[in-house]
Amino acid sequence: MPLAIIPPMPYKVAVLPGDGIGPEVIDEAVKVLKASGSEIEFEHGLLGGSAYDEVGTPLPAETVETCHDADAVLMGAVGGPKWDKIEPASMRPEIGGLLAIRRELGLYANIRPAKTLRPLIHASPLKEGRNMMDLVVVRELTGGIYFGEPRHRAADGSRAVDSCVYTRAEIERITLRAFEIARKRRSFVTHVDKANVLETSRLWREVVDELSTKNPDISVHHMLVDNCAMQLIRDPGQFDVILTENMFGDILSDEASMITGSLGLLPSASLGEPKSGRVFGLYEPVHGSAPDIAGQGKANPLAAILSAAMMLRFSFGEEEQADRIECAVESALSEGLRTADIFEAHTRLVSTSEMGDAIVAKMV
């Protein structure tokens, strides 16, 4: 990721813990950031169901302001059964909180690395030897069917409409972002679509092909999404960068994450256009609010901690500190520390905060 301008220290980080296990995992990520040696000022904001309960909206104006004032945002997760039936639906945590903040901050590029970690090779549901993977999903985040208009339901409930809409400009900017990322890796981009059926996919192909011709150092090929879902299970090692639209990226990145062993391991960055030359981003674990384990100290904080490492690397250029965190994570796992989701025989079960403490201890 080219880092044009690094903000001055102390870095200002907006912290949005959200709902369910969000606050638990974010506490650990903040603990790790505090131990990283970077000077950071944290400002907390409300988001999601907890914000709705407290102030009647899942995305309060103060939260948006806090994010705009910050150099980067660290987010937990939102949602839960308590808020699933709120009407109008635009007040629900996922739509009025999560999707709204992404759009409000112009975060169109969702970057989700998924890598098999050696100490967790047995946690993968795929056979050993078939599960080595090191890929990045670059998902378009503010277009497509999650945002397209019209969307509505017939008054009698008999029919519903969602629209998938993409513009050439939206496809161009995410494709160039994917090429930038690929350039720092193995320079191999798999563009995933459903061009045998969808018009938007055919536009994606056209634009990706045009940009591919102008960027001959990147090797690009196209794959249909159904084939990609299958190829990820058959041979996940074949992928370097997967470039795709919003909904396909949502689904494929969860699939890829599971190959690593748990959803609780996968970090993500959502980036917009550089802000005054700076890389502004929102960093969050890929997982949701996991209401089934919330409040029990069972959540795996590693996805949130690795998201904090991505923040140090992408937004603050703190390569060395990011490496330290990532090495501390591998080291804690190599020593056999495990939260419940990745626990196996002959390993040591630890709670969310014990895992956070162990990472901090390994960073010195």
Binding site for ligand NAD (CB under 6 A): 21, 25, 77-80, 94, 98, 263-264, 284, 287-293, 299-300, 303, 341
Which lies closer to ligand NAD via its Cβ, residue 78 or residue 164? Answer: 78
Which lies closer to ligand NAD via its Cβ, residue 25 or residue 220? Answer: 25
Write out the H or E segment, with its range, that includes residue 343: none
Q: Is 146 a catalytic residue?
A: yes
C-alpha to C-alpha distance for 341 and 315, rounded to whole angstroms = 30
Beta strand ranges found along 200-280 (DSSP E): 219-224, 241-244, 267-271
- Kindly report whether the peptide bond that precedes residue 301 is cis, defined as omega within 30 degrees of 0: no
Active site residue: 11, 52, 108, 146, which one?
A: 146
Nearest to 112 by CA among 134, 131, 97: 134
Output b/e per residue, 72-104; b: 16+ Cβ within 10 A. bbbbbbbbbeebeebeeeebbbbbbbbbbbbee
- Name the minimum Å distance from CB 78 to ligand NAD: 4
Which lies closer to ligand NAD via its Cβ, residue 220 or residue 290? Answer: 290
What's 225's DSSP letter? Answer: H
Length of the chain: 364
Q: Is 226 a catalytic residue?
A: yes
CB 38 within 8 A of CB 83: no
- Name the minimum Å distance from CB 93 to ligand NAD: 7
Phi then psi for residue 110, to 5 deg, are -105, 120
Active site residue: 194, 240, 298, 362, which one?
A: 194
Q: Is 194 a catalytic residue?
A: yes
Q: Is 69 a catalytic residue?
A: no
- Name the minimum Å distance from CB 204 to ligand NAD: 24
Q: Is 292 a catalytic residue?
A: no
Which residues are annotated as catalytic? 146, 194, 226, 250, 254
